[in-house]
Amino acid sequence: MRTSIWSLVVTAGSCLAQGDLGALLASQSDLSTLLELVSLVDGLADTLSAASNITIFAPTNDAFARVPRNEPEGAAIEYRNETIAVAALLANHVFKGVYPSDVITDVPTFAQTLLNSSYITPTQPFSNITGGAYNGLVKNGDDVCVLSGEQTISTVTQADIMLGEGITIHKVDTVFSFGAPLQLFTYRAGYLDMNAALEAADLGFDVGLSGPDQKGLNISDFTIFIPTNEAFEAIGSILASADLETLQTVLKYHIIPNNVIFSPSLGNVTVTSLQGDNLTFTVLPDGTAWVNNAKITFPNTILYNCVAHVIDTVLAPGEFDRASLQPSAAAAERVAFPSASAVAKLPFTSVAFEGDTMTYSSTPALLQTVAAVATSRSNAAATSRPTANATTSSPPLATYTGSAIGLTTSAAMVMALAVGIAALLM
Is residue 343 included in any domain, yes or no?
A: no
Do 205 and 272 fall within a single domain?
A: yes
Of 154-158, 227-231, 352-356, minimum mean pLDDT range? 352-356
Is residue 360 included in any domain, yes or no?
A: no
Taking a C-beta distance cutoff of 8 angstroms, is the pair 93, 57 a contact? yes
Whether residue 90 has pLDDT greater than 70: yes
CA angle 45, 48, 52 (to 5 degrees): 130
Do 174 and 188 fall within a single domain?
A: no
Do 20 and 141 fall within a single domain?
A: yes
Taking a C-beta distance cutoff of 8 angstroms, is the pair 88, 115 a contact? yes
Residue 73 confidence (pLDDT): 78
Is residue 355 included in any domain, yes or no?
A: no
Residue 166 confidence (pLDDT): 67
Domain end call among 307, 333, 359: 333
Is residue 117 included in any domain, yes or no?
A: yes
Is residue 279 included in any domain, yes or no?
A: yes
Confidence at 214, pLDDT banded by 50, 70, 90: low
Do 160 and 195 fall within a single domain?
A: no
Residue 377 confidence (pLDDT): 55
Do 238 and 259 fall within a single domain?
A: yes
Minimal CA–CA distance to 109: which of 378, 423, 424?
A: 378
Is residue 368 included in any domain, yes or no?
A: no
Do 111 and 241 fall within a single domain?
A: no
Give the bridge partners for 171, in sequence order: 58, 158
pLDDT tens for 39-50 read: 777 644 333 224
Domain assignment of residue 27, given as a range: 2-178+374-423
pLDDT tens for 236-264 read: 999 988 999 999 999 999 999 999 999 99
Do 309 and 415 fall within a single domain?
A: no
Taking a C-beta distance cutoff of 8 angstroms, is the pair 393, 134 a contact? no
What number of other Cβ atoms are within 10 A of residue 215's Cβ?
A: 11
- What is the arithmetic mean of pLDDT over 263-292? 95
What Cα–Cα distance (Å) separates residue 62 from each residue in 29, 34, 37, 122, 190?
11, 11, 14, 29, 30
Whether residue 305 has pLDDT greater than 60: yes
Whether residue 201 has pLDDT greater than 50: yes
Confidence at 167, pLDDT banded by 50, 70, 90: confident
Do 225 and 124 fall within a single domain?
A: no
Q: Read off the CATH number of the domain in which 111 is found.
A: 2.30.180.10
Do 144 and 26 fall within a single domain?
A: yes
381 class by beta-carbon count within 10 Å (0-12 exposed, 13-18 middle, 19+ buried): middle
Do 133 and 250 fall within a single domain?
A: no
Domain end call among 271, 300, 333: 333
Domain end call among 284, 301, 333: 333
d(CA 336, CA 232): 11
Is residue 341 included in any domain, yes or no?
A: no
Is residue 416 included in any domain, yes or no?
A: yes
Do 47 and 143 fall within a single domain?
A: yes
Do 259 and 172 fall within a single domain?
A: no
Looking at the 3D structure of the chain, how many domains does it have? 2
Residue 4 confidence (pLDDT): 27
pLDDT cut 90: percent of the chain above it: 46
What are the residues whose beta carbons fall under 8 Å from the beta carbon of 362, sequence distance 6 or more? Answer: none
